[in-house]
């Protein structure tokens, strides 16, 4: 009976996700496809992609012993090129101890506090973004599989609700831009589908690498609404929905965007 109930919830959720106006699977496009040729070339060439500087720094952090346990990530996980392959494509993932989904940044910090006995990295800190970029780079070209866990179904639904909800002084939802008006332009910039395939990304506007939470908070501010705090459950649920929406698309971290 429990499996039947879960299957019913999954079916109901997927039906909601395929509502009119949303992007069909055959139309899905990475933000990469909307970029100018010079920006595409920057992402394609690892020697020109600025995000690779964070990847290299993350590799050093991976091997560095830290915390009172004097352990490095590599002490438990070994060679990241093997152990981390496909990991970023599965996040956000359900954490049994917390009883809710966590994103990759939160998983890094949970492992630091639980196993290395080290203080968590601050959100958007260079160290956290570098380690996230290094781990995510191991999943480059791997299809996104996030949200496959039945425990995540209600959280995907919550993320979908947030994606569809109008908010702020402009009374706009994520869907108004990324479902209804993609491939148009806003203030000279291309409106993409909001597919999260390249995070963490290097944005030319930022002149640094940033997380998907930073990008989502920027969009929320853009519609004149109050953004959620970094790490808020709402942002994780929204990220989870976006990843479920991009299921099967290839990871391309670290991406480069205007």
**HSE-CB for 255 with a 13 A CA cutoff:** 23
Q: Which of 16, 73, 76, 219 is catalytic?
A: 219
| Cα-Cα-Cα-Cα dihedral sign, residues 30, 34, 40, 43 | negative
Query: Is 76 in the active site?
Result: no
**Helix, strand, coil abundance in the chain, percent, nearest 5:** 50, 10, 40
- Please name the residue ranges forming H helices in the chain: 2-17, 37-44, 51-63, 73-77, 80-83, 104-111, 126-137, 153-164, 174-178, 212-222, 233-245
CA gap 32, 254 in Å, rounded: 11
Length of the chain in terms of residues written: 258
Could you give the residue numbers annotated as active site?
219
């Amino acid at each position: 009976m429990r499996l039947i109930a879960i299957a019913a919830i999954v079916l109901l959720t997927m039906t909601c996700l395929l509502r009119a106006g949303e992007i069909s699977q055959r139309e899905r496009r990475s933000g990469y496809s909307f970029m100018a040729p010079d920006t595409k070339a920057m992402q394609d060439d690892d020697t020109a992609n600025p995000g690779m500087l964070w990847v290299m720094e993350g590799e050093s952090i991976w091997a560095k012993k830290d915390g009172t346990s004097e352990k490095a990530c590599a002490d438990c996980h070994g060679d990241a090129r093997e152990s981390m392959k496909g990991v970023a494509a599965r996040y956000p993932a359900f954490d049994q101890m917390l009883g809710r989904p966590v994103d990759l940044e939160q998983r890094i910090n949970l492992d630091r506090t639980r196993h290395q006995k080290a203080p968590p990295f601050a959100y958007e800190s260079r160290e956290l973004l570098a380690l996230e970029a290094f781990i995510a780079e191991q999943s480059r070209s791997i299809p996104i599989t996030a949200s496959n866990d039945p425990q995540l179904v209600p959280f995907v639904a919550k993320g979908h609700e947030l994606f569809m909800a109008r908010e702020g002084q402009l009374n706009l939802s994520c869907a108004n831009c990324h479902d209804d008006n993609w491939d148009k332009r806003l203030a000279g910039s291309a409106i993409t589908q909001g597919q999260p395939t390249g995070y963490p990304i290097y944005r030319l506007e930022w002149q640094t690498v940033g997380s998907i939470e930073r990008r989502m908070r920027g969009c929320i501010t853009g519609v004149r609404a109050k953004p959620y705090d970094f790490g808020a459950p709402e942002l994780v649920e929204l990220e989870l929905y976006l990843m479920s929406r991009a299921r099967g698309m290839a990871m391309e971290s670290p991406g480069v965007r205007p």
